[in-house]
Amino acid sequence: MGYLFAQDDDYGYLIAVNNTQSTYSAQLYLEGPGLLEAVGSGSVSVPVMFESRNITMSESSPGHWTISDSFGPFGVHVYRLYAVPAAQQCGDLATTYPERDLDNNCYVNFADFVMLAGNWLKCSDPADNDCE
């Protein structure tokens, strides 16, 4: 069993894969920053993408959720867990930072320049023997 969590601009997804030739029943345990903010507490109905069904995601303890599901051989399920809430302030789950905002404070300013200058001409090329 393998899994991947992904998020685009609109939704958060869980992709789970049964990488065996057998039918498999699984309990998937979820937790993470922003999940409570996006999902809320209790139980929610979660669509299984590319299938015409929903599954229940239940809060097993505060900030922790469980999904129980069965997978056919080499089955892949994509769960759409939540809609990404619009950012209300800098640092919220859906914050889009300006390009070159190195310290993620929602501004490109002198602090970002200091970070860039502090690494100026530093080398991280493993093929370069003169690299420090």
Whether residue 57 lies inside any domain: the answer is yes
Do 101 and 67 fall into the same domain?
no
Place of tokens 């894969």: 17
Whether residue 90 lies inside any domain: the answer is no
Whether residue 9 lies inside any domain: the answer is yes
Do 105 and 127 fall into the same domain?
yes
pLDDT tens digit string along 77-125? 999 988 877 778 888 767 888 899 999 999 999 999 999 999 888 888 8
What range does the domain containing 119 cover? 97-132
Whether residue 89 lies inside any domain: the answer is no
Closest CA relative to residue 95, chosen from 5, 1, 7:
7
Whether residue 88 lies inside any domain: the answer is no
Do 6 and 52 fall into the same domain?
yes
Q: What is the CATH number of the domain that holds 67?
A: 2.60.40.1180
| Cα separation, 75 vs 23, whole angstroms | 8
- As beta bridge partners, residue 22 has none
Whether the model clears a pTM of 0.75, i.e. scores above it, the answer is no
Whether residue 28 lies inside any domain: the answer is yes
Q: What DSSP letter does each residue of 45-65 carry, written as one string?
A: EEEEETTTEEEEEEEEETTEE
Do 40 and 77 fall into the same domain?
yes
pLDDT tens digit string along 2-29? 888 888 878 889 999 999 999 988 888 8
State the distance between the two ends of the chain, measured CA to CA, in whole angstroms: 41
